[in-house]
């Protein structure tokens, strides 16, 4: 059986749209249609109901999807075995949140350029949801996720480390330099700068602030850690950020830690698609990330 047909089957089952499946697989839409038709003919089963706005698995399609993904997984393992001993080379796409992209990943990429010069690492800023979808679509080889395991059956995750979080402000901010930890009610009266929705620890802080009785928190969202740091350093408010992303600003005196209620560290997870073959280049990147972060 041509496993290309199975890859098309899995992609269409995931996207429920011929155009989206074609884009994911870098095929013409007509090719996706032919692949599905040929697979249905070979299996003697109708796999999809064609709808005005896409395609939906039939009961037979749902029953056959898992065995098809098992075949694709076996193909990936066969390729991995054949590639043992090959020199690592090629492009590897890594997706991660803005926090990791700006603070931790540059060191890993710099190290890889010295040890694996044939590996080209492409870094993509993405939320957890975007990173998981990128793994499923094949646009991303490896992802680093901040927060809880997304619970996706087709995505394998491994905990690498956890990042301590700190409340930070400009040294001249009224809440800086207190001789005791601040309570949630005191923090709720301050202006806060958060990363955009989808950031695990920013969303958690927003929920905590909005749950305070009798308080209307003032929060501003940014898509960039750098923009958040700049606003806080200018004395405009507070932020909750991983310690690793503010170490330099703390050292040079632009920011200071504000003692507040205890907040849990944020987990860092390594994620990849369970069924997809990992090339020598991808394994080299995964190993480097594991060594660096663990």
Can you tell me the distance from the alpha carbon of 60 to that of 111, in angstroms, rounded to the nearest whole number?
A: 49
pLDDT (tens digit, 0 to 9) for every residue of the chain, 294 residues total? 889 999 899 999 988 999 989 988 889 999 999 999 999 999 999 999 999 888 999 999 999 998 998 888 788 777 767 766 666 778 899 999 888 888 889 888 888 888 888 889 999 988 888 899 888 877 899 999 998 888 888 899 999 999 999 999 999 999 998 889 999 999 999 999 999 888 889 999 999 999 999 888 899 998 889 999 999 999 999 999 999 999 999 999 999 999 999 999 999 999 998 877 788 888 889 999 999 887
- Name the token pair of 104: 């931790």
Q: Which domains does the chain have, with CATH numbers?
A: 3-82 (1.10.10.10), 90-162+267-293 (3.40.190.10), 165-264 (3.40.190.10)
Can you tell me the distance from the alpha carbon of 27 to that of 23, in angstroms, rounded to the nearest whole number?
A: 6
Other beta carbons within 10 angstroms of residue 274's beta carbon come to 14
Determine if the pTM surpasses 0.85: no
What crossing angle do the helices spanning 105-115 and 280-293 adopt, rounded to 10°? Answer: 130
Sheet holding 256-258, edge to edge: 239-242, 165-169, 256-258
Helices and strands, counts by H and E, the chain: 12, 12
- Name the token pair of 70: 């098992």
């Amino acid at each position: 059986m041509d496993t290309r047909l199975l890859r098309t089957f899995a992609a269409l089952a995931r996207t429920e749209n011929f155009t989206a499946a074609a884009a994911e697989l870098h095929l013409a839409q007509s090719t996706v249609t032919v692949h599905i038709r040929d697979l249905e003919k070979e299996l003697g089963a109708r796999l999809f109901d064609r709808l005005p706005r896409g395609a939906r698995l039939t009961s037979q399609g749902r029953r056959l999807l898992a065995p098809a993904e098992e075949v694709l997984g076996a193909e990936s393992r066969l390729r991995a075995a054949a590639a043992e001993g090959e020199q690592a080379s090629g492009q590897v796409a890594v997706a991660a949140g803005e926090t990791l992209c700006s603070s931790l990943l540059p060191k890993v990429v710099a190290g890889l350029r010295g040890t694996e010069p044939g590996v080209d690492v492409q870094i993509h800023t993405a939320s957890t949801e975007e990173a998981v979808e990128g793994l499923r679509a094949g646009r991303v080889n490896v992802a680093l996720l901040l927060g809880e395991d997304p619970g996706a059956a087709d995505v394998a995750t491994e905990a690498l480390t956890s990042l301590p979080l700190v409340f930070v402000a400009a040294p001249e901010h009224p809440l800086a330099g207190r001789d005791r930890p601040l309570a949630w009610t005191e923090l709720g009266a301050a202006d806060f700068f958060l990363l955009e929705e989808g950031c695990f620890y920013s969303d958690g802080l927003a929920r905590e602030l909005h749950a305070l009785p009798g308080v209307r928190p003032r929060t501003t969202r940014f898509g960039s850690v750098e923009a958040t740091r700049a606003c806080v350093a200018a004395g405009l408010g507070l932020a909750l950020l991983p310690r690793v992303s503010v170490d330099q600003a703390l050292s040079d005196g632009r920011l200071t830690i504000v003692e507040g209620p205890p907040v849990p560290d944020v987990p860092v997870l390594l994620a990849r698609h369970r069924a997809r073959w990992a090339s020598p280049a991808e394994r080299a990147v995964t190993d480097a990330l594991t060594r660096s972060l663990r």
